[in-house]
Amino acid sequence: MTLEDKNARSLTKRFVFNALKALVKSFVFYMLYLFVLSFFVQFEGYVPGLRQTLESFVIVYISLGVFRDIVSDTFFQYFFDVAKALFVICYLILALNGGIVNLTYMDVALTVDLRLFLMAAILLSLLGLARAILQAINCANKKVELTFSYEF
């Protein structure tokens, strides 16, 4: 077996492992989503399009997670981490209408002020964004260190 064959085999092994990891993580996340959804399912009548809104979030979030896991151990994973954090921020701002949610149910106008929740969620997403950037810097740093150590 040549070195190229060994490399190809190792790459395939890593890809399959990453894909399996992504599958398991997606499954766990989806189960978590179904669990949380079971709490909200009785409010579907009050909030039109609740399930579609949540499902579209979950689909995009899981997709980004899958791509991220497939390219893990490469520099690109951090791009997906950043994309995930930015997506969560944008999605929350858009879906929650800036934090003030207006609903109408049987001639009753409901206003829910979720600005505090939104602020906390955005701060946590920003923390995730900062983490992804730090990881990217750390990875680049390690690569440079490795290159230097090879050169010397």
Partner 1 sequence: MDVSIRMISAASTVFWILLVGFFASAVYSVKDLHLSLGEPRLSLTTDGHAIISIPINIENMGYYNLGSFNIATKVADLNGAKITEGSTSVPIVERGSKITVLHNLTFSTSVLSESCIHYLFNDSSFMVTAKISLKLAETIPVQALSNFTVPWGAPFYNFQLGQPTIEPVNFTHLEITVPISFENHAPIDINGEISLYMYNSEAILVGRGESKIAAPQGNLYTGSILLYVQSSEILEKGAFEVYFSTQFMSYGPLVIPYDFGG
Min CB(39)–partner 1 separation in Å: 4
Q: CB under 8 A: which stretch of 16-24, 53-61, 89-97, 134-142 binds partner 1?
A: 134-142
d(CA 60, CA 45): 25
How many residues interact with partner 1 (rule CB under 8 A)? Answer: 26
**C-alpha distances in angstroms, 100 versus 36, 55, 123, 135?**
22, 21, 18, 34
Considering the complex, state which of residue 86 and residue 112 has its C-beta at the smaller distance from partner 1.
Answer: 112
- Interactions with partner 1, residue window 95-114 (CB under 8 A): 107-114
Kindly give, in sequence order, each residue whose CB lies less than 8 Å from that of residue 42, ignoring residues fewer than 6 positions away: none
Nearer to partner 1 by C-beta: 16 or 90?
A: 90
- Of the residues 16, 24, 120, 140, which one makes contact with partner 1 according to CB under 8 A: 120
DSSP H/E element including 50: helix 50-70
Determine if 127 is a binding residue for partner 1 (CB under 8 A): yes
Does residue 117 belong to the site contacting partner 1 (CB under 8 A)? yes
End-to-end alpha-carbon separation of the chain, Å?
Answer: 31
- Which residue has 């791509």 as its token pair? 67
> Within its chain, how far is the Cα of 62 from the centroid?
6
For residues 29 to 48, the per-residue mask of contacts with partner 1, x marking binding by CB under 8 A and - elsewhere, is -------x--xx-xx-----
User: 16 or 130: whose CB is closer to partner 1?
Assistant: 130
Kindly give the interhelix angle for 76-95 and 115-151, rounded to the nearest 10 degrees: 170
> Given the rule CB under 8 A, which residues bind partner 1?
36, 39-40, 42-43, 107-114, 116-117, 120-121, 124, 127-128, 130-131, 134-135, 138, 141
